[in-house]
Amino acid sequence: MPPPDHSISGIERVWNGGRVVPVLTIADPSAAIPVARALGRGGIRVLEITLRTPAAADALRAITDSVPEAIVGAGTVVDPRQAARAAEAGARFIVSPGFSADVAGACADASLPYLPGVATATEIMAALALGFDRLKLFPAAQVGGIAAVRALSAPFPEVRFCPTGGVDGRSSLEYLALPQVFAVGGSWMVPPDAVAAGDWQRIEALARSATGGPETAFA
């Protein structure tokens, strides 16, 4: 397997300093572009499109083509075929809920940074064995939240986490205050009712609050 671009330099070079990553499950591809633009106006450029809906690939491609300032990747990637399809749709990074050496290989083949998910010390050891030290902690809230980050960091001080799962506006601030956390992922800034109503101003305000703006409209 060729060495993947998996390190902090790989992820942060693509994310370009982005520390709050919306996890978007898009059912209607027509919403993809206005959601991405609203998030961008609120200061968020890094977007993860989950491959949980038939519209996901079209949404990823639409944002890539029409919102060039956005940095779009694919999430919920669980097998190499999904990784390859995401790369074809224009994904600039890949995220998984768990760790897969096969997905890591597909990402290496496509020269895409890979952020694998972990929930246990055993999974972290497996990821470290292949050189991955920037990991998604998932589902973060359910496996212990802040306490889990601190506990897992003790035996693995070289690891930095991106907690995702159960993260909201307030807990994101607590996570980001930890030196062991390099980013957070969540969907609180893109409420489904706001998307359904086309309330792009609300999404923009939530994005701005997530990135430290004056609004405090946490969902």
CA-atom Rg of the chain in angstroms? 16
Is 136 a residue of the active site? yes
Q: Is residue 37 helix, strand or coil?
A: helix
Q: φ and ψ at 177, to 5 degrees?
A: -75, -15
56: phi then psi, degrees, rounded to nearest 5? -60, -50
In the chain, where does DSSP find H-type helix? 8-15, 32-41, 56-66, 80-88, 101-109, 121-129, 145-153, 169-176, 192-197, 200-210
Q: Which of 88, 136, 158, 174 is catalytic?
A: 136
Q: Which among 48, 69, 158, 215 is annotated as catalytic?
A: 48
- The amino acid that residue 80 corresponds to is P
Catalytic residues: 48, 136
